[in-house]
């Protein structure tokens, strides 16, 4: 597949297509992340809190370690976030053997039902410049790259 670049993309003959793609991916991520963060602020949620809410809501009973692995962070990093979310009455930890399993509270479930569809709508609008077929192609390419980096 040939990567087409515009004159503004090519500033040095040393920039490979991989580097140009990486720089563009970072630029797109920052723009989508900003829009996402702004939208989540209406619920007083950070992106990290939304991430936890979405993961736990989709797989209640997930362990704290499984959550940390899915979020690509350490178990210690997720602990402080979970502490704040417990204090807000969005989720609870239940000790099961040596593991903490995570569940949304009733308040957390209501928040999940409101925020997840709204957030998905924001992301959908951000990607509207691409056709459905192009979005599928982009997802396929990124999944291939993601798996190759594991």
The pLDDT value recorded for residue 144 is 97
Q: Does the residue 44 lie in any domain? A: yes
Q: Does the residue 82 lie in any domain? A: yes
The closest of 137, 143, 51, 36 to 102, measured between CA atoms, is 51
What is the domain extent for residue 90? 38-148
Summarised one tens digit per residue, pLDDT across range 128-150 is 999 999 999 999 999 999 999 98
Summarised one tens digit per residue, pLDDT across range 40-80 is 999 999 999 999 999 999 999 999 999 999 998 887 789 99
Q: Does the residue 106 lie in any domain? A: yes
Residues in the chain: 150
Domain total in the chain = 1
Reported confidence tier of residue 9, pLDDT bands at 50, 70, 90: low
Q: How many CB atoms lie within 10 A of CB 47?
A: 12
Of 14 and 124, the structure prediction assigns the larger pLDDT to 124
Longest CA span, the chain: 59
Token digits of residue 48: 């990290």
The pLDDT value recorded for residue 150 is 87
Q: How many CB atoms lie within 10 A of CB 63?
A: 18
The Cα 87–Cα 109 span in angstroms is: 15
Summarised one tens digit per residue, pLDDT across range 77-125 is 899 999 999 999 999 999 999 999 999 999 999 999 999 999 999 999 9
Q: Does the residue 69 lie in any domain? A: yes
Q: Tell me, what CATH number does 56's domain have? A: 1.10.10.10
The Cα 105–Cα 124 span in angstroms is: 28
Helix axes 47-58, 106-126, angle to 10 degrees: 110
Q: Does the residue 23 lie in any domain? A: no
The pLDDT value recorded for residue 13 is 63
Reported confidence tier of residue 16, pLDDT bands at 50, 70, 90: very high
Q: Does the residue 94 lie in any domain? A: yes
Q: Does the residue 86 lie in any domain? A: yes
Q: Report CA-CA distances (Å) from 133 to 32, 40, 51.
A: 20, 28, 26
């Amino acid at each position: 597949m040939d990567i087409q670049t515009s004159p503004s993309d090519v500033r040095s003959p040393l920039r490979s297509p991989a580097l140009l793609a990486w720089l563009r991916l970072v630029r797109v991520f920052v723009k989508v992340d900003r829009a996402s963060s702004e939208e989540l602020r209406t619920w007083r949620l950070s992106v990290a809190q939304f991430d936890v809410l979405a993961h736990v809501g989709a797989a209640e009973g997930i362990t704290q370690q499984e959550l940390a692995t899915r979020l690509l962070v350490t178990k210690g990093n997720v602990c402080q976030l979970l502490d704040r979310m417990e204090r807000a009455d969005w989720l609870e930890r239940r000790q099961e053997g040596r593991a903490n399993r995570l569940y949304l509270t009733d308040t957390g479930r209501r928040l999940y039902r409101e925020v997840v569809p709204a957030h998905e709508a924001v992301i959908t609008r951000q990607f509207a410049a691409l056709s459905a077929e192009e979005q599928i192609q982009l997802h396929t390419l990124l999944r291939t790259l993601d798996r190759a980096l594991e």
